Amino acid sequence: MRYSKLPKENFEAFFKSLEKWGAVYGPVKRGRIYSFEKIKDPNEMSLNYTRTMIPPKKFFVKPRERILRLKDGEWVEECDEEKKVIFGVHSCDINALLILDKVYLSYPEDPLYKRRRENSLIIGISCMPDELCFCKSLGTDFAMHGFDLFLHELPDGWLVRTGSVKGHEIIWRSRELLQEPNEADLENFRKFEDRRIKSFKKELDAQGIADLFDLAYNSDVWKKYEELCLGCGNCNMVCPTCRCYEVCDLWTSPYEAERVRRYDSCFMETHGLVAGGHNFRATRLDRFRNRYYCKSYFDPQAGFNCVGCGRCDEFCPAGIEHVKVLYEIARGRSYNVPILQRKSA
């Protein structure tokens, strides 16, 4: 892997140069949440953001999009072809995209997802965990691949890792803005990583969870959480690895229609409804349990379908904590769960 150094004073010029590759999107603060949005001026960005509410998944599978249009009796495909640079993606989200790739790019591949993946550059950025992050426990706190460039914060700039051929090309074209890193830069990189690793407050002992889950299907803990959970689906909506979508046809006139898909949630009553009226997840308890099995159990060999980003904890109205649920299930007894302290306006 090639390492370069981007000095702080060259950041703006480097950022501007990215526009040649496509429309640049980055993390922006909006009210009390962060969101990936189109960036004109790099100063609009909040590069020390914790996590965006909606993960960068939204660039590849959009929250809601028209995929086909019925015109003159024929279905016409719709897909935006915009070239994009997604700047400032955290390691957990890069790893989440790799999980999505396994789903959307294996046969039969999703043509829209594939085209958008090919049309996008991913530029990662290092981060410090907050009290909700547990990516370290899942090995997703460091991205080994899945990005074109990755920027690691240094006191006077960034150490840039190159992760793809395109990444090399960007480095080559911006070579006059970059330097060779020296020993001091590498020492600073090591120090930052050390500090990052030590800053985690939440940990998940992922070893053996799958076996314990096997035994815990009828655990009382599920019953407790059925009472707390509102079944609102917020955890699914903000999850970077949730993959379910709903497709429906909407009429625009009596003879023209569009086929729209949107994120779906396994907490919805009809998610498990099949032909004949049978619902294999008829109660909220079934649906609550299903989410945890989906994230941590179904295929332990393929790894967890969770990257420890902390979004479901941050946006759960009932203050349900993912790691706590897993622990309680694994240990077979429940602990009193206080609601996360919220700041009111």
List of residues contacting another protein (CB under 8 A): 30-33, 35, 53-54, 63-64, 227-234, 237-238, 248, 250-251, 253-254, 262-263, 265, 267-271, 283-284, 287, 314-319, 339, 342-345
> Least distance (Å) from another protein to the CB of residue 195?
28
| CA–CA separation, 80 and 92 (whole Å) | 26
Q: For the chain, first and last CA: distance in Å?
A: 47
DSSP secondary structure letters along 303-325: --S-----HHHHH-TT---HHHH
Which lies closer to another protein via its Cβ, residue 92 or residue 312?
Answer: 312
What residue type is assigned to position 262 of the chain? R
Task: Give 72 or 227: the residue with its C-beta nearer to another protein.
Answer: 227
- Shortest Å distance, C-beta 340 to another protein: 9
Taking the C-alpha atoms of residue 63 and residue 76, their distance in angstroms, rounded to an integer, is: 20
Neighbour count for residue 95 (Cβ, 10 Å) = 26
3-state secondary structure at position 28: strand
Other C-beta atoms lying within 10 Å of the C-beta of residue 4: 19
DSSP E strands: which ranges in 31-183?
A: 33-38, 64-71, 74-77, 84-89, 120-125, 149-154, 157-162
| φ and ψ of 156, to 5 deg | -120, 30
The strand order across the sheet containing 84-89 reads 3-7, 157-162, 149-154, 120-125, 84-89, 23-30, 33-38
Q: Least distance (Å) from another protein to the CB of residue 120?
A: 19
Instruction: Give CA–CA dist 312/296, Å, rounded.
Output: 14
* Residue with Cβ nearer another protein (31 or 73): 31
Cβ proximity to another protein: between 73 and 254 the closer is 254
Q: How far is the CB of 131 from another protein (least distance, A)?
A: 15
CB of 204 to another protein, least distance (A): 22
Of 53 and 210, nearer to another protein (C-beta) is 53
For another protein, the closer CB: 136 or 261: 261
Query: What's the closest the beta carbon of residue 63 comes to another protein, in angstroms?
Result: 4
Q: Which one, 14 or 87, has the nearer CB to another protein?
A: 87
